[in-house]
Amino acid sequence: MQIDELNTLIARHARPDASTPVEGVLLAEHNASIEEHSTTGTVLALIAQGEKRLALGDRLYRYGAGQYLVASVDLPISGQFVDASPEHPARGFGMVLHPPSIAELLLEAGSESLGRPSGVPSGLIVSAAPTELLDAVLRLLRLFDRPRDLAVLAPSIKREILWWLIVGEQGATVRQLGLADSHLSHIARAVRWIREHHASAFRVEDVAEICGMSPSAFYRNFQAVTAMSPIQFQKQIRLQQARLQLAASPDDVAGIGFRVGYDSPSQFSREYRRQFGAPPSQDAQRLRGEARGMASLV
């Protein structure tokens, strides 16, 4: 079966940091069910073995072997593999999605023939992987044992993988990634702006103007994509940034809270504990004591 071969190839080639010889392609193996708080990037994640639960705002996702997830916006999520163990590790394939590459394929194919995507999609979507997509991923991974051929053939197979996403069940969402004037592209612009200015207060009206939307349309579309309000999204980014900094500087709790945008140390500690299950100083020590470095696909 395709999934069995995919699982075997990932087991053979996966590295602790998920890197591969092909730019933008990731292979991951997880031997434990550790809850992770991370950001998705714009990525395809295909599960070969195991099952994963994800939370985005108030939405819950669950996907397993033979299913894929597309993250069309860089979103703050929490999640974990279910019952992963050394005896039965979770394994997956990932590929970074670049909007210019999608735009190029749409131009070549003639986007009109594919239909103009409408509506505002969720930033995360899950579907069963079709045979054509699995076949392309398998042909790419088989080349890992043939480095000379890999360098020449990998770019064309990556394009093929993108194509099967574009014309697949969730193609309308993927196509929005490649259209500069789509609802998704406007919200992605707002997401980048909030990330870059996460430590500063902002008015929703100002971000809406950056996106060329009315405040009401922006607020509605932002929630549809991210499952959060703009202010809730900013808080998630602040807390994740704080956690990253605390792992390196566990004794600077107050300073880090201030740098990510909190004026009140007590509010920072309270919201941090609500998000991560422990106060900042205690969580920082735990992070330093854990063996980190196993990359996640989403």
Tell whether 261 is covered by a domain.
yes
Residue 295 lies in a domain: no
82 & 207 share domain:
no
What is the DSSP annotation of 6-68?
HHHHHHHH--TT---SSTTEEEEEE-S---EEEE--SEEEEEEESEEEEEETTEEEEEETTEE
- Same-domain check for residues 244 and 272: yes
Instruction: Please report which residue ranges of 120-146 form alpha helices under DSSP H.
Output: 131-142
pLDDT in tens, 117-132: 667 889 999 999 999 9
* Same-domain check for residues 74 and 216: no
Q: What is the pLDDT of residues 45-83, one digit of tens each?
A: 999 999 999 999 889 999 999 999 999 999 999 999 999
Give the count of domains, the chain. Answer: 3
In a domain, 90, yes or no: yes
Secondary structure letter of residue 143 according to DSSP:
G
Tell me which residue has tokens 């100002």: 206
Q: Tell me which of 229, 245, 262 is where a domain ends.
A: 229
Q: Which of 202, 197, 211, 275 is nearest to 240 (CA)?
A: 275
- Say if 294 falls within a structural domain: no
Measured CA to CA, the distance from residue 231 to residue 194 in angstroms comes to 9
Do 99 and 121 sit in the same domain of this protein? Answer: yes
Q: How far apart are CA 37 and CA 179, in angstroms?
A: 29
Q: At what angle do helices 183-196 and 230-248 cross, to 10 degrees?
A: 40
Rounded Cα–Cα distance for residues 298 and 37 (Å)? 10
Average confidence score pLDDT of the chain: 91
Q: Give pLDDT tens digits for 208-230.
A: 999 999 999 999 999 999 999 99
- Residue 298 inside a domain? The answer is no
Assess whether pLDDT exceeds 90 at residue 287.
no
Residue 262 lies in a domain: yes
- Interval 196-211 mean pLDDT: 94
Kindly state the percentage of the chain with pLDDT values over 70.
Answer: 95
Mean pLDDT of 29-49: 92
Q: What is the pLDDT of residues 134-167, one digit of tens each?
A: 999 999 999 999 999 999 999 999 999 999 999 9
Instruction: Quote the domain boundaries for residue 191.
Output: 183-229
| pLDDT value of residue 114 | 73
pLDDT for the residue 30: 94
Residues 223 and 96 in one domain: no
Question: Is residue 132 domain-shared with residue 168, that is, in the same domain?
Answer: yes
Residue 260 lies in a domain: yes
pTM surpassing 0.75? yes
State residue 295's pLDDT score.
62
Shared-domain flag, residues 161 and 55 = yes
Q: Are residues 35 and 163 in the same domain?
A: yes
Residues 206 and 275 both lie in one domain:
no
Lowest mean pLDDT among 9-18, 180-189, 215-224: 180-189
Q: How sure is the predictor about 97, in pLDDT bands with cuts at 50, 70 and 90?
A: very high
CATH number for 279: 1.10.10
Q: What is the DSSP string of 156-214?
A: HHHHHHHHHHHTSTTHHHHHHHT-TTSHHHHHHHHHHHHHHTTTS---HHHHHHHTT--
- State how far the Cα of 178 lies from the Cα of 166, in Å rounded to an integer: 10
Q: Does 201 lie in the same domain as 78?
A: no
Residue 293 has pLDDT above 60, yes or no: no
pLDDT of 18 > 70? The answer is: yes
pLDDT at 247: 81
What is the domain-level CATH number for residue 149? 2.60.120.810
pLDDT at 116: 65
Residue 296 lies in a domain: no
Token pair in block for residue 184: 């998704």
Return the pLDDT at 281.
87
- DSSP lists the bridge partners of residue 45 as 69, 94
Q: How many CB atoms lie within 10 A of CB 231?
A: 11
The pLDDT value recorded for residue 29 is 96
- Residues 273, 172 share a domain: no
- Name the band, by pLDDT with cuts 50, 70 and 90, for residue 291: very low
Question: Is residue 256 scored above 80 in pLDDT?
Answer: yes
The answer to whether residues 275 and 198 belong to one domain is no
